[in-house]
Structure 1
Amino acid sequence: MQTTSWEDEFREYVTARGPALLRAAHQLTGHPLDAEDLLQNALTKTYLAWDRIEDRNALDGYVRRAMVNINISQWRRRKLEEYPSDELPEPAAHDPLPAPEIHEALEQALRELPERMRAAIVLRYYEDMTEPEIARTLGISVGTVKSTVSRAMAKLRTSLGLS
């Protein structure tokens, strides 16, 4: 496959300016992996508009502006999952068991659950399946999945001394 001169020019630009643009993306996102994604999206937009960009000296500004716009769009789409509060939450109670022992206790408590409860918990929390997926897998209704998981969690909390 033969590349055109503007594709070579774009490739040279990315090779030369990529590290500096990645640093700018990292400053925008605060996270290295998000910065890579942001830069990739901005470079994709730049690639698609390459033939319309007349001033090649303004390429960095074009890419940076694209990164800012993409980042703002992502902020707007993001759902706010944490809400500020005037009151601090109560401090967490001390763990009933140290970390290695809690895992052993949890495994033991899981083994003591009835088979359907254990299956529902494992599918829900270990396999990260949705309630409808669990219902299809176990051949039960979604309502039965919900009540089974709820009862199983209550038994686990009691077994682990968390209730």
Structure 2
Amino acid sequence: MTTSSLPSRGSGPGSDFVAVHDPPGPDLANDTPQHNPAPWAAYVSPVAPPLGCKVCGVTPTAPVTIRAHRGLVVIMRWCRADGPFCGFCGIALVREMTTATLRQGWWGVGSLIIGAPVALMSNLLAYRKLRRLQLAVPVPGTVRPRLGKPVLHRPSAYVALIPLTWAVVVITHLVLSAS
């Protein structure tokens, strides 16, 4: 005798109900617990082969995270690119995202104090790791990003001087007025 909220076969007003699958119930005649001979923990996944660059597919690569930060007056916005990158693609991305952080990352108090400096330091560490990689030969048929100018040769990187100058002036004024 089963107690179920589902209608049984051939009963009730819609007697056309047919169970597609009857799950096995407990074996009441045999009180021994059922043993799973191969638990999921016993399966070991194979080791993945080393990945190429996320952009162009070449090796050697470095597993780095490149960050950009945009400081808006009230809120902050983070962007990041994870992956294995070859030296060429990774440095191009570091240059692009660092310039974006220097241009847009300083326009809020939290961004000025925490956000932009954290993104810039993270990108500096990623840049150092990518610079140590050997030069890779590009894979035929793939498109590599433009390396572009170094960060300090880009005019938009100097937009960061505006809020930094403002912060120095405000801090200097606060220190001198407190004396």
Q: TM-score, normalised by structure 1?
A: 0.21
More helix by share: 1
Specify which structure has the higher proportion of strand: 2
Higher relative contact order (CA 8 A, sep 6+): 2
Larger Rg, first or second structure (1 or 2)? 2
Length-normalised TM-score, structure 2: 0.20
